[in-house]
Structure 1
Amino acid sequence: MLAAEVAASRQAQWDLLRDYIASYAERRPVRKVTVVGNAPLGPNPERVAEIDSSDLVFRMNSMALDDPSGPPCVGTKCHVLTVSRYAPVTPWMFQDYRRRAYLIPQAGYGLRYILLPQPYFWPSDLGTMPVPNAPVITRLLDQLDPDHVPNELIPTSGSISCFLAHELFPEAEMLATGFSFLDGVQQDSWRYQSGGGSPVIPAHQLDLEAALLRSWIDDGSMRMLP
């Protein structure tokens, strides 16, 4: 395959992914995108107002949503969910699933039914979209570390979600919240808004991910919510 054909294939995959995700937006054109990480957040009505007024809200893995009768912490909207192969199931993971895009990084796509617990939990009519390696994951890895060793650096689902939001919709206002590694790159475990936690695997190099997100904050292309 010629280099031009490879480039065209990557661009076609990129465009397909953008159109697929945009089709789940609350409104089009997409003018406001928010990525909500899983770090525990206390009540903040202003934060929730920003999240729930977004055209697209990305979440990932051990996601949680606010109970309508509970305090406003993380909002009630989810249009895109990035799911890793080992994501635990939370009560909100399949809530209103027909109105969401479910993305699985390509490296784990063939193993998507290994998600815990076992297959019975996955709705029979729910499809997923792989996040392709060449146009997405490789580009993200190159931004994290141009000299990275293949297979030794694996981005978190949170950073994959931020990268997709930032790069697919550069014309939109981008917000983010709930990313504990911005202030804790040495952490060796995650705590979740949904409860519980899990260890940080060694291939997640949080210092690199924090540096990338901070570069977007510094250049004004992403704003962190409290």
Structure 2
Amino acid sequence: MKADLAPRRVSVDENPDFYDVLRPLASTYASLGSVERIAVVGNQPLEESVTRAAIIDSADLVFRVNGFRLDEPDGAPAVGTKTDIVVFNRGVRPTPWFFSEYSERLYLLIEPGRMQWEWEVYPHFWPRDLGFITVPNRDVIIPLAREIGLDPERDGEWATTGTTMMWIAAHLFPTATLDVAGLSFVDHPEQTSWEHAYGDACLVGPEHRIANEGRLARQWIDSGRIRFHR
């Protein structure tokens, strides 16, 4: 960890806001301690771009998702190398970059499947000396799902980890500028399978409605809440 924070005792009656509790910890991973600009990077394959890679790596905080990839030292720049916060789910397929320098990152586990069928089984590949923060469904997954017209408790439908990552970043630092890249559903909401920057393609899970997520992302783009980089 980059900083040791004294434990905060919270009464069960306080019902603290998740973002208020997490924000001081997340801020310790920022380059200069302040968070004015965030990069949020999905796993869509992207063409070479020196400009995009520089925008990502110069952000105060960089969020990445699930089985992400990073630029290689001898490869063409596309998505940069900086990684501060990793948002993942229990079904993650780790890439060669997922655990690299893990002691310098914050890992956030989302588990919407716990509302339906998923067991609380920690991944067997998890390093023994690395912890993670569990993202509460009540504070994140359910409000996001309702925003895009889904009911995860009733229907077992929820947002993808990529959209959840963007939602967390936007609500964790509401005044920060968000530079977003690598979310394919923005331009291709009709797709039924995912192409990944690393690893094989896979089907879009039946629990997702990515057209709904695409509409939310485009609303945020049109309103200026996020800057989307193709």
Look up the match of 1:217. Answer: 221
Which residue type is aligned with residue 85 of structure 1? Answer: R
**Contact map agreement 1:190 1:200 (CA 8 A) in 2:** yes
Residue 123 of structure 1 and its aligned partner are, at CA, apart by 1.1
**Contact map agreement 2:112 2:141 (CA 8 A) in 1:** no
**Contact map agreement 2:65 2:86 (CA 8 A) in 1:** yes
Residue 111 of structure 1 and its aligned partner are, at CA, apart by 3.3
The one-character-per-residue Cα deviations of 1:171-213 (angstroms, maximum 9, x if unpaired) are: 1111100111111112111111113122111111001101111
The one-character-per-residue Cα deviations of 1:94-131 (angstroms, maximum 9, x if unpaired) are: 01000111111144686352x4xxx1x32110101001
After TM superposition, the score normalised by the length of structure 1 is: 0.89
Equivalent-residue separation in structure 2 for 1:146 and 1:40 (angstroms) = 27
Look up the match of 1:69. Answer: 74
Question: Please, which of 7, 10, 15 is the counterpart of residue 9 of structure 1?
Answer: 15
Secondary structure at the counterpart of residue 15 of structure 2: helix
Equivalent-residue separation in structure 2 for 1:65 and 1:177 (angstroms) = 13
Look up the match of 1:125. Answer: 129
Look up the match of 1:198. Answer: 202
Which residue type is aligned with residue 165 of structure 2? Answer: S
Give unpaired runs (5+ residues) of structure 2: 1-10
RMSD: 2.0
Which residue type is aligned with residue 46 of structure 1? Answer: T
The within-5 A match list for 1:159-170 is 159-170=163-174
Task: State the aligned residue count.
Answer: 216
Equivalent-residue separation in structure 1 for 2:15 and 2:83 (angstroms) = 29
Which residue type is aligned with residue 103 of structure 1? Answer: L
**Contact map agreement 1:57 1:79 (CA 8 A) in 2:** yes
Look up the match of 1:111. Answer: 120
Look up the match of 1:44. Answer: 49
**Contact map agreement 1:85 1:111 (CA 8 A) in 2:** no
After TM superposition, the score normalised by the length of structure 2 is: 0.87
Secondary structure at the counterpart of residue 194 of structure 2: strand
Secondary structure at the counterpart of residue 120 of structure 2: helix
Which residue type is aligned with residue 125 of structure 1? Answer: D
The one-character-per-residue Cα deviations of 1:140-178 (angstroms, maximum 9, x if unpaired) are: 112111767634321111001000111111111111001
The one-character-per-residue Cα deviations of 1:65-121 (angstroms, maximum 9, x if unpaired) are: 0011110011001101111111101000001000111111144686352x4xxx1x3
Residue 19 of structure 1 and its aligned partner are, at CA, apart by 2.1
Residue 135 of structure 1 and its aligned partner are, at CA, apart by 1.5
Which residue type is aligned with residue 168 of structure 1? Answer: L
Secondary structure at the counterpart of residue 192 of structure 1: coil
Question: Please, which of 23, 27, 39 is the counterpart of residue 28 of structure 2?
Answer: 23
Equivalent-residue separation in structure 1 for 2:173 and 2:67 (angstroms) = 24
Residue 28 of structure 1 and its aligned partner are, at CA, apart by 2.2
Runs of 4+ in 1 over 2 A off after TM superposition: 5-8, 106-113, 146-152
Equivalent-residue separation in structure 1 for 2:52 and 2:13 (angstroms) = 39
Identity fraction in percent? 38
Which residue type is aligned with residue 170 of structure 2? Answer: H
Look up the match of 2:6. Answer: none
